[in-house]
Amino acid sequence: MTGPLDHLKIIELGHVIAGPLSTALLSDFGAEVIKVEAPNRTDMMRDLGPKAEDGVGVWWKTLGRNKKTLGLDWKLDEGRDILHRLVEGADVLVENFRPGVLERAGVGPETLHEWNPDLIILRVSGYGQKGPMRDVPAFGRAAEAMSGLAHLTGFADGPPMHPGFPAADSTTGLMGALGIMIALLAREKGTARGQVVDLAVFEALLRLMDYPVPALTGANHSPRRNGLRQPMDFAPGGMFRTSDGVWLTVSAGSAETAQRLLRAVGGDALADDPRFATLAEMSQHMAVVFDAINDFVTQHTVEEVEAEFARHDAVASRVLSVEEITTNEQIRHRGDIVSVEGEQTKVIGPVPHLSATPGELRWLGRPPGADTRSILRDLGFDDERITALCETGLVSLDSGEGTP
């Protein structure tokens, strides 16, 4: 089966997480991604973090999934000529350098669109291509701070906290893939030909953190971090630990589900208390609700809590560790953790699940320059010329392949 995006050709000049994740997401559904790395200066994700038994970084294995790798110094004149040939036959180019890097190398958007007027260009940077912070260096944690996420995470009397995964970079990858698909749809409809998708790393989180802004500007309410409870505490819930040491997250998103939750932890007396008749009234007494839930959960085992909550159709979910994620029956049933033949390393499979054209993991991250020869041959270079380019250091091959 061919993927729904098998007609799509993407040139990736990105590195680390944000840009490469956007292309990885599209590669799961058939897009041909050519990742370009300069010889002797490959993506740092190849070496960052723990290594698998074969010595390859496990983070690279998933970020480099389904991608071809080309070793090419595109900042040199002849390398830029090769990039030109690649761009002519591409649909999308993705880069996440600091603003100005492409322009200084002579391959800014104007040049790229001269080469290919229909090219979609995704530009990911810390603070965007324009504005007073354009040239300020940034990493994911700076973006998490700017978006407000860190400010709302942690305990009220403690410091702001970052989440346990690269939230800014990861959400930027998602938003970047969305931006590419929107631009492609506009091109297909004839609304626009090639266009630039300008995405700052803090903006994806800012969009997902939307509610604090209308809360402040529309209701004069400023959310504050609130430990194990919701920053705005508008509905009952939080994080609680059972008597046998299992962490549960408890939540209710409506008056009806809140009543079921209160009945599970405190019986009819608590559920029918007039202070909790509506979520608006309940929000004024949320400390009482939180304490009631905490008292019940901490005095019962996880099996007892789950049984009582199930009886009242209330929600209490176990907080899974990574080990538990890999053995969870629901995750396993949906096929969300996958690998390829000959690989011990498993990764999260393509999401979302499409009924007729599902995604596919074809291979994990490949060595630097693994596809240099085949890509250059497709561009019309013969083996003699490829050998000469390798000798000059302009291009590189997989170290296990040698010269063609």
pLDDT digits (tens, 9 = 90+) for 101-121: 999 999 999 999 999 999 999
Q: Measure CA 237 to chain center.
A: 26
Averaged pLDDT, 295-324:
94
Of the two residues 279 and 212, the one the predictor is more confident about is: 212
Percentage of the chain modeled with pLDDT above 70:
98
**pLDDT beyond 60 at 382:** yes
Q: How confident is the model at residue 265 (pLDDT cuts 50, 70, 90)?
A: very high
Q: Is 398 a catalytic residue?
A: no
Averaged pLDDT, 374-397:
96
**pLDDT beyond 70 at 294:** yes
* Domains in the chain, CATH or no CATH each: 9-208+333-396 (3.40.50.10540), 237-241+247-318 (3.30.1540.10)
**pLDDT beyond 90 at 398:** no
pLDDT digits (tens, 9 = 90+) for 179-225: 999 999 999 999 999 999 999 999 999 999 998 999 999 999 898 99
pLDDT digits (tens, 9 = 90+) for 149-176: 999 999 999 999 999 999 999 999 999 9
Question: What is the pLDDT, as a whole number, of residue 404?
Answer: 32
Q: How confident is the model at residue 287 (pLDDT cuts 50, 70, 90)?
A: confident
**pLDDT beyond 60 at 23:** yes
Question: What is the pLDDT, as a whole number, of residue 1?
Answer: 61
DSSP state of 38: B
Residue 107 makes CB contacts below 8 A (sequence gap 6+) with: 74, 80, 83
Question: What is the pLDDT, as a whole number, of residue 401?
Answer: 54
Question: What is the pLDDT, as a whole number, of residue 76?
Answer: 94
Report the half-sphere exposure of 395 (CA within 13 A, side-chain side). 31
Question: What is the pLDDT, as a whole number, of residue 143?
Answer: 95
384-403: buried (b, 16+ CB within 10 Å) or exposed (e) per residue?
Answer: eebeebbeeebbbbbeeeee
Percentage of the chain modeled with pLDDT above 90:
82
**pLDDT beyond 80 at 387:** yes
The whole-angstrom separation of Cα 144 and Cα 202 is 6
Annotated catalytic residue, options 28, 73, 91, 169: 169
Q: What is the mean pLDDT of the chain?
A: 93
Question: What is the pLDDT, as a whole number, of residue 257?
Answer: 86
Q: Is the pTM of this model over 0.85?
A: yes
- Nearest one of 368, 371, 363, 335 to 61, comparing CA atoms: 363
**pLDDT beyond 90 at 84:** yes
Of the two residues 277 and 141, the one the predictor is more confident about is: 141
Q: Which residue has the tokens 């007027």?
A: 117
DSSP state of 276: G
Question: What is the pLDDT, as a whole number, of residue 400?
Answer: 58
249-260: buried (b, 16+ CB within 10 Å) or exposed (e) per residue?
Answer: ebbbeeeebbbb
Question: What is the pLDDT, as a whole number, of residue 402?
Answer: 39
Q: How confident is the model at residue 254 (pLDDT cuts 50, 70, 90)?
A: confident
Q: How confident is the model at residue 129 (pLDDT cuts 50, 70, 90)?
A: very high
